[in-house]
Chain A
Amino acid sequence: MATSNVFATIQSHINNNDSELALRRILDAAYDTGNLKLIKETTEISKLVRPNIVSASVMVKEQLLQATEKIRIENVDYASTANSDILLSTQNMRKTYRTGRFSLDALSLQIKAGEVLGIVGENGNGKTTMLTMIAGELMSDEGSIKYNAFPDADNYSIKQQLAFIPQRIPRWYGGLKDNLHFTAAIAGLSKTENEVMVNFMLERFNLSEYADLTWDKISSGYRTRFEIARVLLQNPKIMILDEPLANLDIKAQQTLLTDLVFLAKGTRRNMAVLLSSQQLHEVEKVADNVLFLKNGKSVMNNSLTPSVQSFMIEVESAGDREQLQDALVNEDLQIAFNGGFYTISSSTISASQMLQLLINKGWTISYYRDITNSTKRYFN
């Protein structure tokens, strides 16, 4: 993301009273600079602003604008150092478990710096197997994984720079803040840098008021936030998240995903993000590429550009299936019902035309989604 775009986005959020969003972007912008002084100052501003953020008062706006201006002014030489190098590639990576019940078929992929790769698929289709192999936790039976980001590094060094957040976050002990300090320290952040970065992460992920709490005292959603804050302190080049949205409410899911995109696409500190999820639409909104796994096989592995041969929509209505079929009987449409939604597809009628058709037939539609380019179509 270009530097000017960052400031324009922040300005837009402030103008539209999206103060919470603006604050997060300001913090991201400060983090992206890597300027410790700026990060510290922005953290202080955040601490000052956050208690009144909901009111979006004039004072809050002013403070946010001042913070934005500070970042802009103090970073006149804020040139982008982001790159799009290939950080990781796999070639025909396969895995069959000893029980023989499941096999992950040959899988080849590449992931670049600044890229977000979403991995979707139903339960038990190989998402976790794939991610754990890429994270170096599980051995593949065949094929290779090449960590282009860490040439000549041994497994230990690779794991230092590759952050993996499993679906079931390992329990940690002690205070939340102590854990962050510890992670920062073992990643090489010492003294002031450690203090500044930990305070920043606490503020960035809205964890400041929970800093002294332990595992038992915070919710699973906050544990996910903590885990992300923790791995970010390691300044990883590749971040792998297995089902990070599982424990989050809908708003938190949205927040996390947009945060990940900003963190991945920083102008200086960019990284590759691999995340698996069942939340197809949310993932598709932010991912550059989506990999759909079905029965251990990659069904779709490309960028989200329209390339499908049929149009497909998902609708919810009070009417029953027979009425719908009767209404659309003369049209070139296929109707499927999964118990909750109707899935209507056509090779000739576009999604918007399908919607128009339904309205014209007098149908009351309570939910509509175009899934033509979504991996959701493969779930049927």
Chain B
Amino acid sequence: MASARAFVPKFLQKFDSKLLLRNPSVWSARTHLVLYFFLLFGVVCSAIAFLYFKDARGNQNVEVFTAFTVIVALIAMVFWLIFLLRFNVFKRFGKLSFFEGVVIYLLYFINTGMIVLIPFLPAIVQSYCANRQFSSDEIVKDVNHLNVMLTKLEFENLPKYWDKNYYVVTSDSTLLNRGTEMATIAVDAVAEVDTVVASNANEAYEDSRPFYNRNFTYIDAGAIDEYRMNGDSIVQENDTSFILFQAPGLQFVEVNSYSSDQINLALFTNREIYNVARSTSKSNAAVMQDSIKYYKAKYADIDGHYLNNYGYYDQNNTGYFEKIKEKYKISPTGGVISDILDRKNFLLSEVEIFIRVWYYPTLFLSLLIFIFRHTTVKTFFFSILAAVILAILTGLVISVTSRMEEIMFLNILFAYSILFGVLSVVGLTAKRRLFVFGMSIGFFLISIPMLPLLGRLIYLYKRRFELNYEGFDEHNFTYEIAGFVLLLFVIQFLVGWLYRKWYALPQE
């Protein structure tokens, strides 16, 4: 029976003792204890966070929570390592099962993953609470409704003429590099009006004289097509001359957040707000005022965070936009909605980023632990020193090379991987335990999960002109997963065996 542990329930102590007698490798990884304490802390931390983040409209300091959980995670990591390093089946030359290497690595990965996940818990709970309280569609609908109502109520006070910029289309690269310049341009008698904004183009386009002294910018045909797609209004004067109009700012409820593309696309643009406000019937002003009050209450600044910080309004130096916002005291509503969207996004659009931010530290920490557990202390710390020196030398080589290209860096990384792989296998012929071979196994192992992605990037880079850089960011996730699978495969069938051969050799 293993020694009793503090804060561990009896059932787990029993399980711990059974595991020690039946499967010492799994027992020594302490996954059962890490899982227990992770769940225990996770429940407590989540419960506190849930109470704190319950109302997504509040002023929430997730950073303080996260800083606290980072400290907890560091302590957890230290404790786990202390317990982990006590017992090592491999270094005690114990009997190893067929799947020993891969099982042990996976347990290290799971344990590290749980510990690395701890600092994310407050943000996850916060995001969950925000998503639970408000749906994305609901917010988008409310913001659009508010902006349209405010536009309708203040339609008479909006600017009549839209800001405009002049562009001349050219394919001459020297002209394209000139930027903006002044010139007199002849304009055809009849201007062609973009059909998208036909309804308001006439009132926006007041400069229909044949000659102008203008500040204009040369752009290429591709860019003007993009403006056609995304611009608020565009007028083509002749074959090459265009005027781009920008609708006045009508997003009075400003959503300044790293919102997901889905939300950003669903929110009305200035032009859309203008068009909707203009094309729909004007409702009763009093009804709209009540409706605005309702939305303001719905997204109320409950902690007074935005109200207290509402000192930036300058009566003497404001346009229609600021005046309208001030009139309806709508700024805090925008601030609160922005906060809610930011909180929601952590579990929506940022999931992929979050997974990577969690995955890579977990991967490299678990690999370092795995390597440390299969090598000598001297070899491990020499490896770290060698890695630093190698990185500096590689940087120097790349910087002094006349044709410095990304491909060179990628090729060097690939070459290192191959080199260390070959050295690891060559080490099998050694009669004594040379630390250079131990280091090679470690470096080779670290490079394995990167190989599929590295290979793909080299392939894409070589075909970059042919592919026009398309698809560079696609499918990376698949290659990263493939890297992890390859890592498990290599640990199972090569690295575990290499370490066994190398570590058991006599010293010099």
Contact = CB atoms under 8 A, between A and B. Distances in A.
A268 interface: no
Interface stretch (B89-97, B268-276, B279-287): B89-97
A379 interface: no
Contact of A185 (B1, B24, B503, B505): B24
Interface in A136-182: 136-139, 154-156, 158-160, 172-175, 177-179, 181-182
B92 to A, nearest CB: 6
Given A138-B507, A191-B21, A194-B21, A186 B2 contact: no
A185 B17 CA distance: 11
A226 to B, nearest CB: 14
A228 to B, nearest CB: 16
Overall SS of chain B's interface: loop
Nearest to B95: A188
A174 B3 contact: yes
Nearest to B89: A186
A46 interface: no
Contacts of A286: none
A195 interface: yes
B166 interface: no
B22 A191 contact: yes
A182 B28 contact: yes
B385 interface: no
Contact of A177 (B3, B24, B87, B505): B3
Contact of A139 (B24, B87, B508): B508
A174 B22 contact: no
B22 A173 contact: no
A236 B239 CA distance: 93
A187 interface: yes
Contacts of B508: 139
B501 A154 contact: yes
B432 A182 contact: no
B22 to A, nearest CB: 6
A136 B95 contact: no
B506 interface: yes
Contacts of B87: 173-174, 179, 182
Interface in B4-44: 20-25, 27-28
Interface in A184-202: 184-188, 190-191, 194-195
B255 to A, nearest CB: 55
A324 interface: no
Contacts of A184: 21
A211 to B, nearest CB: 9
A212 interface: yes
Most chain A Cβ neighbours within 10 Å, of B1, B3, B25: B3
Contacts of A187: 94-95
Interface string B294-306: 0000000000000
A187 B93 CA distance: 9
Contacts of A156: 93, 500-501, 503-504
Nearest to A98: B508
A195 B22 CA distance: 11
Interface residues of A, number: 31
A133 interface: yes
Interface in B432-485: 432
B378 interface: no
A252 B497 CA distance: 42
B141 interface: no
Contacts of B23: 185
Nearest to A135: B506
B403 interface: no
Contacts of A178: 2-3, 20
A23 to B, nearest CB: 24
A184 B2 CA distance: 13
B93 A159 contact: yes
Nearest to B92: A186
A172 B92 CA distance: 12
B333 to A, nearest CB: 59
A135 to B, nearest CB: 9
Interface string A105-135: 0000000000000000000000000000100
B506 A133 contact: yes
B431 interface: yes
A190 B22 contact: yes
A183 interface: yes
B178 interface: no
Contacts of B89: 186
B86 interface: yes
A107 to B, nearest CB: 16
A136 B504 contact: yes
Contacts of A174: 3, 86-87
A182 B20 contact: yes
B505 to A, nearest CB: 6
A155 B504 contact: yes
A137 B22 CA distance: 29
A338 B503 CA distance: 47
A195 B21 contact: yes
B398 to A, nearest CB: 38
A155 B505 CA distance: 6
Given A178-B3, A183-B92, A159 B504 contact: yes
A186 B20 contact: no
Nearest to A179: B87
A186 B95 contact: yes
A194 B95 CA distance: 14
Nearest to A198: B21
Nearest to A133: B506
Given A178-B2, A181-B2, A136 B22 contact: no
Interface in B86-108: 86-87, 89, 92-95
Contacts of B21: 181, 184-185, 190-191, 194-195
Nearest to A186: B94
A160 B20 CA distance: 19
Contacts of B507: 137-139
Residue with the highest number of chain B CB atoms closer than 10 Å, among A133, A178, A194: A178
Given A178-B3, A182-B20, A185-B20, A139 B501 contact: no
A227 B103 CA distance: 29
Interface of A: 133, 136-139, 154-156, 158-160, 172-175, 177-179, 181-188, 190-191, 194-195, 212
Interchain residue pairs A-B with the least CB separation, the first 9: A186-B94, A155-B504, A185-B24, A156-B504, A173-B86, A175-B3, A139-B506, A159-B93, A139-B432
5 contacts: A154-B504, A172-B86, A177-B1, A182-B20, A186-B25
Given A154-B500, A174-B86, A177-B1, 4 more contacts: A139-B507, A156-B93, A172-B86, A182-B24
